[in-house]
């Protein structure tokens, strides 16, 4: 497991007496999709926020590509190729879809301390942004304001922005929530195609998608990892059936 | 196909901005003919008032960069008016009357002050940011109030207006007017380009969502601080002009009332649109001067107008015009 | 030297108490309603003018002081209903615009009604003397009375906030605004109450200070800015913080003006020290505030931003 791209050791987060993440340890191998599932309130989004650097952890260690990034902030992690998508979209509502993506391209393509040339005339930025929009199915929405897109389109744009940072590891927080059936199918195909280039940590409630995509699945219950294994192992695990799948069925 | 859609996408914001840009060009054109018209009507004082209007329009434009585009509500921006004004007073005493040198000195002093106070202020958010910028503004205010060699509380009169390349071009009201107009156009054009640039996009992005900016790899702080410094420097230009126009310098330029007034100009004109900020500055001073002609208690009427605008016309004048259907372009 | 220090310490405490009375209401308005009110200093000024006016007609200090309370309370209520209520869920900028306008309107109105010249209010006979302190020192009774009244009100406020249902709501509101409305309380009535009570406290402060300082149209401005400093140092929404910060600011400001030049004299020649002292002393509280915010960006008792 030493070649794991992301290695999380005993990560914890608590708010006062409330322990949201307890001693979480996972390894994500390069080129894999590692799904984290669990009932509502299990602390999945908190864990993603800790991994992305949005939240500081109280204890534990996050090692990414051989580097201890526990103390790095979100921007520094993004620049190292660790990007995330948000469950509740945080797009720039007054920017067009294209501008939202172009800004993410700009973040790693040259200095942003340029004060004179209009960014809209930089074809390199726009062209690359367009390819990301096209790959997420938003090519015909490029000039629409992000704030005026439909819920599903916002999810797609969220993903296009994350891809524009050229991540090596992508943390996906329920990317399919709120998308229509066709859009969801398209995104699942996209993730499958991306897998050769981008490693992914996926939080998702859509079990069909999880079991179709994931190489490994971890089950998170009350902030603790109950079990980690292949999709088949996890599906068969009695603890999981009791803690999670049982609840889903009920 | 990709190429076509990108042209389409890039064209959209341009048409969005064109309306505002036209409005601004119209304002410049009207201002340019003020002196001859005033002369024809035998109202020379109008030129003086119009000069003051433009000076504060420059100050309002500079504040709009941080307040409108960066969502940083600075309540200490009037300090930079003071730095500009006192740069003129101090340098002219030392025998340096050149406007350009004075502007550069004012900008340098402002940059240093903005860099230090901005770095501290930007650690805070929301009302704390408003209050800490106010506190730094007051610090600067009291510094000059207590400077007895420069007149202290009462301020100090200048011997003469600055020169440009050795020539007394600012001496008459018309020269003063056109120098101000040229600087107004320069500041507007510079800021217009800046807001569209890479830097401007990042700054605007931090206004809309700091979290999103961090999630794509931008730390807002260096961009916000840079904008804070640029805004301070540009405002000091207005201060240099203000000292020249009044031939007098006083700490009152940097009181918290002035800082509040600058915010008022922006909110009146419409925040986050350079044309709105400029018109807000022009209109506010015109309103003050106009009301002051009718009554010594003009503040009563002015204050009531502000309250009514705040209560009934969110978005200021541009919001009002938009609701009346006179201007179509959105924010 | 020590005697002087003690006297100035008392003066600082008295000034601090005054700042606290103005700040207490404002910090709650800031904290619970997230509302920027630039017009709070004007209420302090109105308290002073009402005091001077009632005193002018009745000649009775205590009657005037009692009359100030319902009158400033009423002013607060009227302003809340007419203006502030409509601005709670608007942006800070709209709030700045409206309350800045209100400052202009109310200051100008009082200039029209009472004129620009400073008015003075006579001290009550019973409190006009001095009491001996240690050694040869004596201290004006009235200033001690101001400290006493302020501490009494601080105690009363503490009781209300720590022990009553309204106080519980205030504390909850300062910590988490969404929670108060979730509790099903009539939030509008709570806001109105806080606002009016804050106005009354500020008016009371303006009234009790009127025999020491004169009443003039600018008195609201100078205290407003220092009140902001107090609130920010203490932490927005914290009455306890406002109390500590008010005393701190009062003492630092008073001692700084007195001892700054004296201390500087040991470093510089007298003329330079006098100039530097005059320059630095008024800046001292702002330096203090910047230092506190640098160290704790949400003030001494402010809730820290979750991270």
Instruction: State the fold for domain A1-81+167-250.
Output: Rossmann fold (3.40.50)
Question: Which pLDDT does position C79 carry in this prediction?
Answer: 93
C251 pLDDT band, cuts 50/70/90, is very high
B146/C282 CB distance under 8 A: yes
Six-digit token pair at A200?
């992914």
Q: Is the per-residue pLDDT at B8 higher than 60?
A: no
A121/B10 CB distance under 8 A: yes
Question: Which pLDDT does position B241 carry in this prediction?
Answer: 97
Does the residue B163 lie in any domain? yes
Distance in angstroms (rounded) separating the CA atoms of residues C38 and C47 = 16
Domain ranges of chain A: 1-81+167-250, 92-166
- Identity of the residue in B6, B202, B218 whose CB atom sits nearest the CB atom of A127: B6
Min mean pLDDT across A129-133, B64-68, B156-160, C121-125 is at: C121-125
- Residues on chain B touching C297 (C-beta within 8 angstroms): 123-125, 128
Tens digits of residue pLDDT in B213-264: 999 999 999 999 999 999 999 999 999 999 999 999 999 999 999 999 999 9
Six-digit token pair at A196?
């050769």
Distance in angstroms (rounded) separating the CA atoms of residues C205 and C212 = 12
- Residues on chain A touching B209 (C-beta within 8 angstroms): 90-92
Q: Which domain holds residue C156?
A: 10-121+137-295
Question: Which pLDDT does position C304 carry in this prediction?
Answer: 54
Tens digits of residue pLDDT in C197-236: 999 999 999 999 998 888 888 888 888 889 999 998 998 8
Interface list for B 51-110 with C (CB within 8 A): 67, 73, 75
Number of residues that this document lists for chain C = 307
Mean pLDDT of chain B: 88
- Residues on chain C touching B146 (C-beta within 8 angstroms): 275, 278-279, 282
- Identity of the residue in A75, A96, A119 whose CB atom sits nearest the CB atom of B218: A75
- Identity of the residue in A92, A98, A121 whose CB atom sits nearest the CB atom of B212: A92
Candidates C15, C78, C47; CA nearest to C226 is C15
Q: Percent of chain C beyond pLDDT 70?
A: 94
Q: Is the minimum CB–CB distance between B14 and chain C shorter than 8 Å?
A: no
**Total domain count, chain B:** 1
Question: Which pLDDT does position B7 carry in this prediction?
Answer: 37
B130/C100 CB distance under 8 A: no
Q: Is the per-residue pLDDT at A203 higher than 70?
A: yes
Q: Which residue in B has a C-alpha nearest to residue C284's C-alpha?
A: B139
* C-alpha distance across the termini of chain C, in Å: 48
- Residues on chain C touching B305 (C-beta within 8 angstroms): 101
A116/B193 CB distance under 8 A: yes
* C-alpha distance across the termini of chain B, in Å: 30
Q: Is the per-residue pLDDT at B12 higher than 50?
A: no
A73/B211 CB distance under 8 A: no
Strands C130-132 and B156-157: unpaired
Distance in angstroms (rounded) separating the CA atoms of residues C49 and C120 = 10
Q: Is the dihedral of CA C218, C221, C222, C224 positive or negative?
A: positive
Predicted TM-score (pTM) of this structure: 0.89
Tens digits of residue pLDDT in B121-133: 998 888 889 888 9
Interior angle at CA C99, CA C97 and CA C102, nearest 5? 110
Six-digit token pair at B153?
């509380």
Candidates C155, C157, C209, C193; CA nearest to C47 is C209
Could you tell me how many CB contacts below 8 A there are between chain A and chain B?
Answer: 138
Block residue for tokens 């340029």: A114
Write the DSSP string, C130-178.
EEE-STT-EEEHHHHHHHHHHHHHHHHHHHHHHHSHHHHHHHHHHH-HH
Question: Which pLDDT does position C258 carry in this prediction?
Answer: 80
Tens digits of residue pLDDT in C162-185: 888 888 877 777 666 666 666 666
C96/B264 CB distance under 8 A: yes
Distance in angstroms (rounded) separating the CA atoms of residues A120 and A111 = 15
Q: Is the minimum CB–CB distance between B254 and chain C shorter than 8 Å?
A: no
Neighbours of chain B (3+ CB pairs under 8 A): A, C
Mean pLDDT of chain C: 85
HEC letters along chain B: CHHHHHHHHHHHHHHHHHHHHHHHHHHHHHHHCHHHHHHHCCCCHHHHHHHHHHHHHHHHHHHHHHHCCCCCCCCCCHHHHHHHHHHHHHHHHCCCCEHHHHHHHHHHHHHHHHHHHHHHHCCCCHHHHHHHHHHHHHHHHHHHHCCHHHCHHHCEECCCCCEECCECCCCCHHHHHHHHHHHHHHHHHHHHHHHHEHHHHHHHHHHHCHHHHHHCCCCHHHHHHHHHHHHHHHHHHHHHHHHHHHCEECHHHHCHHHHHHHHHHHHHHCCCCHHHHHHHHHHHHHHHHHHHHHCCCHHHHHHHHHHHHHHHCCCHHHHHHHHCCCCCCCC
Six-digit token pair at C256?
């700084």
Most confident of A7-21, A95-109, A179-193, C111-125: A95-109
Q: How far is B276 from chain C (nearest CA, A)?
A: 15
Using an 8 Å Cβ cutoff, are A89 and A32 in contact?
Answer: no
Does the residue B110 lie in any domain? yes
Min mean pLDDT across B23-27, C156-160, C299-303 is at: C299-303
Does the residue C132 lie in any domain? no
Interior angle at CA B183, CA B177 and CA B188, nearest 5? 125
Mean pLDDT of B143-157: 84
Mean pLDDT of B92-106: 94
- Residues on chain C touching B138 (C-beta within 8 angstroms): 225, 286
ipTM: 0.86
Distance in angstroms (rounded) separating the CA atoms of residues B282 and B57 = 6
Candidates C220, C204, C213; CA nearest to C50 is C204
At A49 the three-state DSSP class reads: helix
Question: Which pLDDT does position C303 carry in this prediction?
Answer: 67
Mean pLDDT of A172-185: 85
Distance in angstroms (rounded) separating the CA atoms of residues A178 and A146 = 16
Neighbours of chain A (3+ CB pairs under 8 A): B
Distance in angstroms (rounded) separating the CA atoms of residues B143 and B139 = 6
Q: How far is B128 from chain C (nearest CA, A)?
A: 7
Does the residue C82 lie in any domain? yes
Q: Which of C39, C105, C264, C306 to mutate to test the interface with B (most CBs of B within 10 A)?
A: C105
Question: Which pLDDT does position B206 carry in this prediction?
Answer: 93
Question: Which pLDDT does position A244 carry in this prediction?
Answer: 62
Q: How far is B41 from chain C (nearest CA, A)?
A: 33
Q: Is the per-residue pLDDT at B299 higher than 70?
A: yes
Question: Which pLDDT does position A116 carry in this prediction?
Answer: 86
Candidates C37, C61, C41; CA nearest to C202 is C41
Q: Is the per-residue pLDDT at B203 higher than 90?
A: yes
Tens digits of residue pLDDT in C83-123: 998 888 888 888 999 999 999 999 999 999 998 888 888 88
B208/A94 CB distance under 8 A: yes
C279/B268 CB distance under 8 A: no
- Residues on chain A touching B196 (C-beta within 8 angstroms): 118-120
Distance in angstroms (rounded) separating the CA atoms of residues C121 and C110 = 17
Distance in angstroms (rounded) separating the CA atoms of residues B328 and B307 = 25
Q: How far is C294 from chain B (nearest CA, A)?
A: 6
Tens digits of residue pLDDT in B187-196: 999 999 999 9
- Residues on chain B touching A95 (C-beta within 8 angstroms): 204-205, 208
Does the residue B10 lie in any domain? no
Q: How far is B198 from chain A (nearest CA, A)?
A: 5
Using an 8 Å Cβ cutoff, are B224 and B200 in contact?
Answer: no
Distance in angstroms (rounded) separating the CA atoms of residues C100 and B266 = 13
Neighbours of A200 (CB within 10 A): 22
Q: Which residue in B has a C-alpha nearest to residue A98's C-alpha?
A: B9
Phi, psi of C98 (to 5 degrees): -65, -45
A233 pLDDT band, cuts 50/70/90, is confident
A15 pLDDT band, cuts 50/70/90, is confident
Mean pLDDT of A134-148: 90
**Total domain count, chain C:** 1
- Identity of the residue in C92, C229, C282 whose CB atom sits nearest the CB atom of B142: C282
Q: Which residue in B has a C-alpha nearest to residue A171's C-alpha?
A: B215
Using an 8 Å Cβ cutoff, are C138 and C152 in contact?
Answer: no
Instruction: Please give the order of strands across the beta sheet that includes A18-29.
Output: A18-29, A4-15, A59-64, A67-68
Q: Which domain holds residue B83?
A: 19-323
Write the DSSP string, C4-45.
HHHHHHHHHHHHHHHHHHHHHHHHHHHHHH----TTHHHHHH
Using an 8 Å Cβ cutoff, are B283 and B56 in contact?
Answer: no
Six-digit token pair at B89?
């007073």
Q: Is the per-residue pLDDT at B11 higher than 70?
A: no
Q: Which of C34, C38, C92, C104 to mutate to test the interface with B (most CBs of B within 10 A)?
A: C104
Candidates B275, B268, B273; CA nearest to B316 is B268
At A27 the three-state DSSP class reads: strand
Mean pLDDT of C38-49: 93
A116/B13 CB distance under 8 A: no
Question: Which pLDDT does position A17 carry in this prediction?
Answer: 75
- Identity of the residue in A96, A130, A164 whose CB atom sits nearest the CB atom of B13: A96
C46 pLDDT band, cuts 50/70/90, is very high
Mean pLDDT of C291-297: 85
A18 pLDDT band, cuts 50/70/90, is confident
Q: Is the per-residue pLDDT at B317 higher than 80?
A: no
Q: What is the CATH number of the domain that holds B250?
A: 1.10.3470
């Amino acid at each position: 497991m030493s070649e794991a791209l992301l290695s999380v050791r005993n990560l914890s987060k608590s708010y006062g007496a409330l322990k949201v993440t307890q001693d979480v340890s996972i390894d994500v191998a390069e080129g894999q999709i590692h799904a984290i599932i669990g009932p509502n309130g299990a602390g999945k989004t908190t864990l993603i926020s800790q991994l992305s650097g949005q939240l500081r952890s109280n204890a534990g260690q996050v090692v990414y590509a051989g580097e201890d990034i526990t103390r790095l902030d979100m921007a520094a992690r993004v620049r190292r190729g660790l990007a995330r998508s948000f469950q509740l979209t945080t797009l720039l509502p007054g920017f067009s879809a294209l501008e939202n993506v172009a800004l993410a391209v700009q973040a790693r393509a040259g200095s942003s301390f340029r004060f004179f040339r209009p960014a809209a005339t930089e074809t390199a930025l726009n062209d690359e942004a367009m390819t990301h929009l096209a790959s997420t199915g938003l090519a015909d929405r490029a000039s629409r304001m992000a704030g005026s897109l439909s819920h599903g389109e916002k999810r797609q744009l969220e993903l296009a922005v994350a891809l524009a940072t050229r991540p090596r590891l992508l943390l996906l927080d329920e990317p399919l929530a709120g998308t229509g059936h066709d859009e969801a199918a398209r995104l699942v195909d996209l993730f499958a195609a991306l897998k050769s280039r981008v490693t992914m940590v996926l939080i998702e409630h859509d079990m069909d998608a999880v079991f179709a995509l994931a190489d490994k699945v971890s089950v998170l219950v009350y902030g603790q990892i109950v079990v980690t294994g292949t999709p088949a192992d996890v599906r068969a695990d009695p603890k999981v059936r009791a803690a999670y799948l049982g609840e889903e069925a009920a | 196909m990709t190429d076509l859609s990108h042209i389409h996408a890039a064209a959209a914001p341009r048409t969005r901005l064109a309306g505002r840009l036209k409005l601004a060009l119209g304002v410049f054109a009207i201002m340019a003919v003020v002196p001859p018209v005033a002369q024809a009507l035998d109202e020379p004082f109008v030129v003086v008032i119009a000069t003051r209007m433009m000076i504060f329009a420059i100050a309002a434009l500079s504040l709009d960069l941080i307040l409108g585009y960066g969502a940083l509500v600075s309540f200490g921006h009037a300090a930079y008016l003071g730095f500009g004004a006192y740069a003129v007073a101090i340098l002219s005493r030392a025998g340096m009357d050149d406007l350009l040198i004075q502007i550069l000195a004012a900008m340098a002093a402002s940059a240093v002050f903005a860099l230090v106070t901005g770095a501290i202020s930007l650690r805070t958010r929301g009302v704390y940011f408003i209050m800490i910028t106010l506190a730094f503004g007051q610090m600067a205010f009291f510094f000059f109030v207590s400077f007895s060699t420069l007149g202290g509380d009462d301020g100090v009169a200048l011997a003469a207006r600055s020169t440009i390349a050795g020539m007394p071009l600012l001496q008459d009201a018309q020269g003063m007017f056109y120098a101000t107009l040229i600087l107004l156009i320069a500041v507007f054009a510079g800021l217009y380009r800046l807001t569209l640039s890479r830097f401007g996009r990042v700054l605007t992005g931090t206004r809309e969502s700091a979290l999103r900016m961090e999630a794509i790899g931008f730390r807002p702080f260096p961009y916000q601080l840079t904008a804070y410094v640029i805004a301070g420097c540009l405002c000091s230009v207005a201060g240099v002009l203000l000292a020249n126009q009044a031939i007098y310098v006083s700490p009152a330029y940097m009181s918290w009332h002035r800082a509040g007034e600058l915010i008022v100009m922006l909110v009146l004109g419409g925040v986050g649109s350079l044309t709105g900020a400029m018109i807000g500055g022009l209109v506010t001073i015109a309103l003050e001067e106009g009301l002051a002609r009718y009554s010594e208690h003009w503040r009563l009427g002015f204050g009531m107008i502000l309250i009514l605008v705040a209560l009934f016309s969110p978005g200021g004048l541009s919001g009002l015009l938009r609701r009346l259907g006179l201007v179509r372009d959105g924010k | 030297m020590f005697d002087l220090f003690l006297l100035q310490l008392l003066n600082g405490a008295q000034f601090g108490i005054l700042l606290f009375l103005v700040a207490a209401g404002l910090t709650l308005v800031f904290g619970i309603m997230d509302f920027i009110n630039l017009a709070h200093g004007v209420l302090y000024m109105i308290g002073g003018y009402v005091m001077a006016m009632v005193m002018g007609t009745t000649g009775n200090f205590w009657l005037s002081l009692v009359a100030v309370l319902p009158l400033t309370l009423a002013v607060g209520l009227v302003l809340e209903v007419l203006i502030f209520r409509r601005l709670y869920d608007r942006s800070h900028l709209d709030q700045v615009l409206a309350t800045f306008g209100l400052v202009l309107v109310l200051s100008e109105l009082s200039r029209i009604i009472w004129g620009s010249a400073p008015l003075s209010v006579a001290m009550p006979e019973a409190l006009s003397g001095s009491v001996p302190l240690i050694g040869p020192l004596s201290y004006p009774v009235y200033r001690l009375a101001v400290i006493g009244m302020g501490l009494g009100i601080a105690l009363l406020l503490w009781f209300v906030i720590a022990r009553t249902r309204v106080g519980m709501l205030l504390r909850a509101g300062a910590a988490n605004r969404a929670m108060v409305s979730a509790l099903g309380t009539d939030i509008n009535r709570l806001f109105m109450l806080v606002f009016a009570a804050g106005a009354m406290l500020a008016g009371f402060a303006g009234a009790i200070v009127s025999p020491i300082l004169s009443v003039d149209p600018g008195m609201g401005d100078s205290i407003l800015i220092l009140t902001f400093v107090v609130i920010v140092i203490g932490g927005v929404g914290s009455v306890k913080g406002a109390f500590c910060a008010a005393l701190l600011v009062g003492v630092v400001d008073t001692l700084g003006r007195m001892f700054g030049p004296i201390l500087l004299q040991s470093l510089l020649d007298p003329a330079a020290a006098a100039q530097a002292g005059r320059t630095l002393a008024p800046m001292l509280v702002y330096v203090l505030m910047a230092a506190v915010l640098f160290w704790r960006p949400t003030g001494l008792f402010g809730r820290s931003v979750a991270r």
